[in-house]
């Protein structure tokens, strides 16, 4: 027999204002003093603040419970990888065959194959769990043609004869510049070294507060150095010919 669903919780009691007894005394008064009006407003403001604070912490507790559920479903797998080799069995025995079938089912459950609880990445050869609402993991999310949240890192990793090779690690589109964490930190270090070469001392324990004209001067100096190197390389080629 199916159990009936539990009844809905009763509605919360209506909120009563603090100091209703004091307000009832002045209910028929046409004029109130400034002190009485200020005291009543302060009392109601404090009550409203307590009400907002209670709602805030109630929402925080609800978010914690929902986050635990989300983390359990998508963040961590309830299965643990088994270590070691399965016990040896003798083929041909019915009990051993049943044991083999049970071990295969357990291994499939561990690897997430054939189960609906764990969704693996659809990229070929990847066994990582897929992200929520997609069939790819974070490392291969750019393979999803329908996603609109990520783009590739535009930092040049290598200069090949065919052209520059970009890092292309997934980065949120809202991140400016479009660089992954590694290259973003590397860019900050390069900028800090360039500012120090320009003669400005920047504390290491905080982010550099660089002025615009300093950055422009450093960029101009680097461009001039590249042009001089290219010019010298061209002159050396002409002399060898």
174 — phi, psi (to 5°)? -75, -10
In this structure, is residue 173 part of a structural domain? no
**What does the chain come to in residues?**
241
Residue 31 confidence (pLDDT): 83
Residue 164 CA to residue 144 CA, distance in Å, equals 24
130 lies in some domain: yes
- The verdict on residue 125 lying in a domain is yes
Please indicate, yes or no, if residue 66 is contained in any of the structural domains. no
Q: What is the pLDDT of residues 1-43, one digit of tens each?
A: 445 666 766 777 777 777 777 777 777 778 888 888 888 888 8
pLDDT for the residue 18 = 79
Residue 140: per-residue pLDDT: 92
Answer whether residue 212 shows pLDDT above 60: yes
pLDDT of residue 167: 92
* pLDDT (mean) for 200-213: 63
For position 151, what pLDDT does the model report?
93
State how far the Cα of 82 lies from the Cα of 111, in Å rounded to an integer: 10
pTM of the model as a whole: 0.40
Domain-located, residue 22:
no
Is 140 within a domain?
yes
Instruction: Give the residue with greater pLDDT, 166 vs 28.
Output: 166
Which of the pair, 210 or 49, is modelled with greater confidence? 49
Q: Which residue has the higher pLDDT, 106 or 130?
A: 130
Share of the chain above pLDDT 70, in %: 71
Domain tally for the chain? 1
Mean pLDDT of 80-98: 44
**Percent above pLDDT 90 for the chain:** 11
In angstroms, the CA 73 to CA 198 distance is: 52
The rounded distance, in Å, linking the Cα atoms of 119 and 137 is 10
Q: Is the pLDDT of residue 187 over 70?
A: yes
Domain annotation covers residue 121: yes
168 conformational bin, left if phi > 0, alpha if psi -120 to 50, beta if neither:
left
Helices 212-240 and 181-197, packing angle to 10 deg: 90
Mean pLDDT of 175-183: 89
Residue 149 has which token pair? Answer: 């949240």
Work out the average pLDDT over 59-69: 87
Residue 124: which domain range? 116-147
The verdict on residue 5 lying in a domain is no
């Amino acid at each position: 027999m199916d159990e009936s669903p539990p009844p809905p919780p009763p509605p919360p009691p209506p909120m009563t204002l603090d100091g209703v007894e004091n307000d009832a005394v002045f209910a028929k008064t046409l004029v109130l003093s400034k002190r009485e009006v200020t005291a009543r407003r302060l009392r109601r403001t404090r009550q409203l603040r307590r009400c907002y604070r209670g709602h805030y912490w109630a929402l925080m507790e609800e978010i914690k419970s929902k986050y635990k559920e989300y983390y359990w479903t998508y963040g961590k797998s309830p299965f643990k990888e088994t270590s070691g080799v399965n016990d040896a069995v003798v083929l041909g025995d019915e009990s051993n065959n049943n044991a083999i079938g049970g071990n295969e089912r357990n291994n499939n459950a561990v690897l997430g194959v054939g189960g609906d609880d764990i969704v693996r990445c659809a990229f070929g050869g990847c066994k990582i769990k897929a992200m929520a609402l997609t069939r790819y993991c974070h490392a291969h999310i750019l393979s999803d043609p329908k996603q609109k949240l990520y783009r590739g890192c535009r930092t040049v990793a290598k200069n090949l004869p065919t052209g520059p090779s970009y890092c292309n690690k997934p980065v949120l589109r809202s991140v400016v510049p479009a660089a992954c964490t590694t290259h973003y930190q590397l860019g900050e270090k390069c900028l800090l070294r360039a500012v120090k070469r320009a003669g400005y001392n920047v504390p290491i324990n905080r982010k550099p507060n660089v002025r615009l004209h300093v950055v422009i001067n450093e960029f101009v100096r680097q461009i001039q150095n590249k042009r001089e190197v290219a010019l010298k390389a061209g002159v050396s080629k002409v002399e060898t010919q």
